[in-house]
Structure 1
């Protein structure tokens, strides 16, 4: 089939995701999960916008003083006018509901309880509108010769070249023996590039199954495809094509969710013995700010009130850190996107990004080329993405996330595919209904790093200490930017080939 080019059409301002040959107007778009890439916003102001982070009036997180929960917690919670809905042994966390406005104070007096806080909801990512795919890439490969050569859209996956994934495959590392849990929105569980590697799925979103239920952009499918799309001569290929996928839905298909769902998802992934957990989601939250309270009616904002909950935000980070520490202690390497607020974490220390700012989490910033389609073999693939959060303590490593910073609306052809030049600078992967699409964000960078972590675990035969995985990532990363750990690349941009071939 000869590729065709469709006339531009508008794309939702809530996200940036382009279907192959289903085009959009660049003037109408913003980066996925991000503020507009034209300027570094005041991140705290952006995060404090109404509807960004909302306190759930009747939903609570109980935080123990230790990793053990108090004895007879259910009965004691009931005595405090609450109902215990979940206990997560070993984390020191439990979930509860109550309509009593004094529940937190009452339950906080239970012996062994550190604090009781409200759960918060947030917009983990913003979905884009429907995209279609009707083209075949058959031209010259733009990646090094490897097992991925027979994948139809492998030539569009410049991120694999950037991290030397093809060279890692050629060295025999493909992720076999590694299980990666992807905590995200819904997934296309029947996608031909995902299905061969899916070993299980679970939803913690009430009323929504793990299967993506919309016909629009599937954020979860995109991230899962970058990590471990199968090597099956169809569309794309994952960084770790022989790794297995555990797909865990902790956000609605529309991108919103609650931190309690995230905590449950982390715990479930650990119980299923995941080697790597990828979380391409999160919220930038001011440590000192007012928040909306849904007054126990999340679908009705008419009675919402504003509250100042500085201590609750501090304790929320404690709760998430308890979950990520539990995961690390039980053998799961936890990776999260650093966020897309173009925020300097060293300068704006009032802002906390959850979960990337939690304890033991490997935080990933985004890199991207500019105008790659104009020179696929010579363009720098390691530019700093215009939207990525940065800061020496905020970024552990960098990985390909893509960008749309290339100016203008030029048209280019790569591997037989015609599209806007800026589109090729984004990350190409799976989406809903068995299709494929471009997207950009630190959400796309995290999966590249998670794929490399899976290659490391696979080479080790599975069951690898997360500290050793982190050490290998650090020793093998390409030290870009200023020598040592710097604000944009952290310890460096991950390198799959070096990670699986260097001396251990």
Structure 2
């Protein structure tokens, strides 16, 4: 018997967990719920954010242009602050200060558009259970990786057929912005080109001792494996198995992180001249609401939140602007940016909140699809809307396989390679353990499927492509599901790798 790792509660994408509640943990599902039903928990209060925290002495300085003011370090010091990072070309710097009047002082620096507090959020809470799966020989398939037969997402998007055209991700570099990674994982190590961490005090390598519940599950490794796990007769295979990975840690191993780390990670990846950035992370930021302060002390006994609407509204708007600045910078550098849409099961076009980075400029937002009872009916529809997935046009651009644990049956059944609960087989299987694999569900799992398709397109093109052209091909080649044309659930459709690489509409190299 070979032990497999299973995480039935792990719905969140990294960072998408910070969207106030999840409607699709196994415990929240009713026995008769189907994938076509939205969760009863989808009606959430967008006026309160309990997971996004304003940091008291950490700041983001935003320039009025893409250039930082001259001698910004000296001028910041004169305002009783210390610059911690300069993002040249984006017009952003980060700083620390213990002066409560730092914002007022630093805002007077000539050329500065705004100075705001940095914000942090709890992205996910790693949690896992074990499921025993029989170690059996897989049936004949188009690939000889042992768990390839249960990678239904590849089947849904016709990835194996795309590989037969010669497009396997060669000469393409994909940056994965996420939590920590198992850098020595046998399905990843040969494709990892670089790794870096923007989390102070934490290397890129995932450290289970830093995870609050000591989970061995690495969200970043799981996502990276879906993009580009090596085709090596070990475990699974990525959508673009010959793409190279640049792994960028922007959230800590306990699942929390600062937006300044994400901004720095995007800037780094763009400067590294990657072709694609995958961001299986994000936050829902209420435009008008209350946020916790980093000391967690309420402003008065009758209120659970410290930072009032009048104080934070402008800061949130400027935070969105800062993220837009760096995603625009990356797009100008020729990077295709892809992000998870979120796991709240709510209408993402809600004007009361902004979803970042999914709603950010030049970012392709991905919703999630899944089968329902695949192990009981191998011919079941693989493209049902996952109940947790955010939706709403024009917020959703495309859909991709994200998996779901919505099926009520926990009965262990044999399916192709082993035995596991019925609902487990509807989830996405990838390289989430030190040398092993995990099931997971979420738009975090959908986003890397789409990023892999983008890598296949660029690979088929034979060289770098303008991101707007990559997106145009992804849209035109997607399978139009649901209501004809662009719709709330699938956007322009569920990505199709084969149609994408055989469309005959590739752009000239940028």
Is the structural similarity TM-score above 0.5? yes
Q: Distance in 2 between matches of 1:37 and 1:53?
A: 25
Report 1:87-98 matches (<5 A): 87-98=86-97
* Distance of aligned partners of 1:40 and 1:29 in 2 relative to their CA distance in 1, 3 Å threshold: closer
Q: TM-score, normalised by structure 2?
A: 0.88
* Distance of aligned partners of 1:37 and 1:128 in 2 relative to their CA distance in 1, 3 Å threshold: farther
* Distance of aligned partners of 1:5 and 1:333 in 2 relative to their CA distance in 1, 3 Å threshold: closer
| Stretch of structure 1 that moved more, 175-184 or 68-77 | 68-77
- 2:99 is matched with 100
Q: Distance in 1 between matches of 2:252 and 2:336?
A: 24
Contact 2:185 2:434 survives alignment (8 Å): yes
Q: Distance in 2 between matches of 1:89 and 1:173?
A: 35
Tell me the secondary structure at the aligned position of residue 305 of structure 1. Answer: coil
Provide, for residues 272-328 of structure 1, a one-character-per-residue CA deviation record: whole Å limited to 9, x for no partner.
11110000011112111011111499xxxxx99333311111111111011111001
- 2:235 is matched with 235
- 1:181 is matched with 175
- 1:332 is matched with 335
Q: Distance in 2 between matches of 1:107 and 1:200?
A: 36
Tell me the secondary structure at the aligned position of residue 85 of structure 2. Answer: strand
* Distance of aligned partners of 1:13 and 1:152 in 2 relative to their CA distance in 1, 3 Å threshold: closer
Tell me the secondary structure at the aligned position of residue 433 of structure 1. Answer: coil
Tell me the secondary structure at the aligned position of residue 291 of structure 2. Answer: strand
Superposition deviation, residue 425 in structure 1: 0.5
Contact 1:43 1:351 survives alignment (8 Å): no
Q: Distance in 1 between matches of 2:130 and 2:172?
A: 31
- 1:60 is matched with 59
- 1:20 is matched with none
Superposition deviation, residue 29 in structure 1: 7.0
Provide, for residues 231-264 of structure 1, a one-character-per-residue CA deviation record: whole Å limited to 9, x for no partner.
0001000000000001110001121101000011
Contact 2:49 2:290 survives alignment (8 Å): no
Superposition deviation, residue 218 in structure 1: 0.6
- 1:138 is matched with 137
* Distance of aligned partners of 1:366 and 1:57 in 2 relative to their CA distance in 1, 3 Å threshold: same
May I ask how many residue pairs the two structures share in their alignment? 474
Contact 2:273 2:335 survives alignment (8 Å): yes
Superposition deviation, residue 375 in structure 1: 1.9
Superposition deviation, residue 140 in structure 1: 2.5
- 2:193 is matched with 199
Contact 2:8 2:440 survives alignment (8 Å): no
Contact 2:134 2:419 survives alignment (8 Å): no
Contact 1:368 1:385 survives alignment (8 Å): yes
Matched, 1:429 2:430: yes
Tell me the secondary structure at the aligned position of residue 386 of structure 1. Answer: coil
Superposition deviation, residue 485 in structure 1: 1.4
Q: Distance in 2 between matches of 1:278 and 1:289?
A: 29
Superposition deviation, residue 442 in structure 1: 0.2
- 1:322 is matched with 325
- 2:79 is matched with 80
- 2:68 is matched with 69
Q: TM-score, normalised by structure 1?
A: 0.89
- 2:271 is matched with 271
Q: Distance in 1 between matches of 2:205 and 2:355?
A: 27
* Distance of aligned partners of 1:483 and 1:498 in 2 relative to their CA distance in 1, 3 Å threshold: same
Contact 1:16 1:128 survives alignment (8 Å): no
* Distance of aligned partners of 1:41 and 1:194 in 2 relative to their CA distance in 1, 3 Å threshold: same
Any gaps of 5 or more consecutive residues in structure 2?
A: 14-24, 31-36, 209-214, 298-303, 506-510
Report 1:370-381 matches (<5 A): 370-376=372-378, 378-381=379-382
Any gaps of 5 or more consecutive residues in structure 1?
A: 18-25, 298-302
Report 1:211-230 matches (<5 A): 211-214=205-208, 215-230=215-230
Q: Distance in 1 between matches of 2:358 and 2:136?
A: 36
* Distance of aligned partners of 1:355 and 1:44 in 2 relative to their CA distance in 1, 3 Å threshold: farther
Provide, for residues 440-496 of structure 1, a one-character-per-residue CA deviation record: whole Å limited to 9, x for no partner.
000000000000001111112232111111111111111111222111101111000
- 2:369 is matched with 367
- 2:158 is matched with 164
